[in-house]
Amino acid sequence: MEEASLYFALVLAMLFLSTGWSKVRKMEEHVLIVKDYQILPAAWAGIFARAEVWVELLLGALFAVGLYRTSAALVGAGLLVIYTLAIAINLFRGRKEVSCGCGGAAGTHQLSWWLVARNLLLICLCGYVATIATAYGSLDSMLAGGAVGSSFGFGFWMMAVMAGLSLLALSLGSELAVMRKQMGRLVKPIGRSL
């Protein structure tokens, strides 16, 4: 169970770090996407957009090194709940043509119920990490007197590689699904004209 907790923590670390970094690189675009959700007043949307990017990066770093991992998991779940509610509100309004603004390994997609389901799964992963503490990959454990080798040994690095490959597979699958949908839109008009 501890191995699964480490694996999920590393997946969340890579996810938050990659999405946060992609938003930092395109901050003005990210601010416009948050405003396009039409939930917060424009001035607050800009403040929220900038703040949540730095929270994502901090969460990713805390998950990665195992420092305050339980707290990071609870804050991460809260942030994901906010994202999920914003997506659901826009879907109930009939606004599906809005970019999710995720970026990074999560990809960038138009709003859909699939994104809500994905976020609910990520919230569950945060819950698991918050519930099942592990000394593996944990700076907290080392600071409490644990050995470096037991915290960041070979097992940690193998788990990090597995988490990275899992996230890569998820990202590729997501991009292939987007390409398939776009190809369907391109081919449909051609089929009608024949």
Show the tokens assigned to 114: 């699939």
> Can you tell me the distance from the alpha carbon of 77 to that of 130, in angstroms, rounded to the nearest whole number?
9
pLDDT at residue 149 in the model: 65
| Both structure tokens of 6 | 């480490």
User: What is the model's pLDDT at position 170?
Assistant: 79
Long-range contact set of residues 164-172: C-beta below 8 Å, sequence gap at least 24: 164/10, 164/14, 166/11, 167/11, 167/14, 167/15, 167/18, 167/105, 168/105, 170/105, 171/105, 171/106, 171/107
Q: 127 near 9, Cβ under 8 Å?
A: no
Q: Do residues 87 and 100 make contact, with C-beta atoms less than 8 angstroms apart?
A: yes
CA-CA distance, 60 to 12, in Å (whole number)?
7
Assign 11 to helix, strand or coil.
helix
pTM for the predicted model, two decimal places: 0.84
- Show pLDDT as tens, one digit a residue, over the chain (194 residues): 888 888 999 999 999 999 999 999 999 999 999 999 999 998 899 999 999 999 999 999 999 999 999 999 999 999 999 999 999 999 999 999 888 888 887 877 889 999 999 999 999 999 999 999 887 777 777 777 766 666 777 888 888 888 888 888 877 777 776 677 777 777 766 656 55
pLDDT at 49 (0 to 100) = 93
Write the single-letter amino acid at 11. Answer: V
